[in-house]
Amino acid sequence: MHSNLRGALLSLAAFGAYATHDVVVKLLGETFTSFQIMFFSGLMGFPLVTLMLMGDRRDGTLIPAHPWWSALRSVAAVSTGVMGFFAFSQLPMAICYAIFFAMPLLITLMAIPLLGEKVGIPAGGSR
C-alpha cells in the first residue's frame, strides 16, 4: 500500500478512536461523575505505563529533578482532564469540539502576557 494512503488511513482510524472515546465519556457522564471517569481512565492505562517503566532499566527514572513542578503539572493534568470529561458529559459534542479546536488560538493569546511571546505574522510570510 502506498505510504501516503497508509498514513491517511491510520490518521483516520486514530481520529475515529479519539472521537469514540469522547462519545464513551459523554455516555458514561450520564451515570458517573467526571472524577470517577477520570479515575478509571487512569486506572486502565496503569498496566501499560507500568510495563513501560519496568522496561526502562536506567536508575532514577521516577525521581523528578524538580518535584514541585512535577506536582503542579500533575494537579494541572488531573484538573484539565476532569474539566474536559465534565464538559463532554454536560455540553453538546459540537460545542465541546468548537471550544477544543479554539484552544490553540487561546493558548497563543495567553502566551503573550504570561510568557512574553511576540505573536505576529512571520517576516517573509507565505505567498
Query: Is 112 part of a structural domain of the chain?
Result: no
Query: Is 7 part of a structural domain of the chain?
Result: yes
Query: Is 110 part of a structural domain of the chain?
Result: no
Query: Is 125 part of a structural domain of the chain?
Result: no
DSSP 95: H
- For residue 84, the model assigns a pLDDT of 86
C-alpha cell of residue 92: 453538546
C-alpha cell of residue 89: 458529559
Q: 19: domain range?
A: 3-55+74-91
The angle that helices 34-55 and 67-90 make with each other, rounded to 10 degrees, is 140
Query: Is 123 part of a structural domain of the chain?
Result: no
- For residue 11, the model assigns a pLDDT of 93
The pTM for the full model equals 0.61
pLDDT digits (tens, 9 = 90+) for 62-82: 778 888 999 999 899 989 888
Separation CA 10–CA 20 (nearest Å) = 15
pLDDT digits (tens, 9 = 90+) for 82-117: 888 888 888 898 998 898 889 899 999 999 999 999
pLDDT digits (tens, 9 = 90+) for 13-23: 998 988 888 88
In the chain, how many domains are there? 1
Query: Is 87 part of a structural domain of the chain?
Result: yes
8 A C-beta contact, residue 30 and residue 78: no
Query: Is 36 part of a structural domain of the chain?
Result: yes
Q: How confident is the model over 46-73, as a mean pLDDT?
A: 85
Query: Is 44 part of a structural domain of the chain?
Result: yes
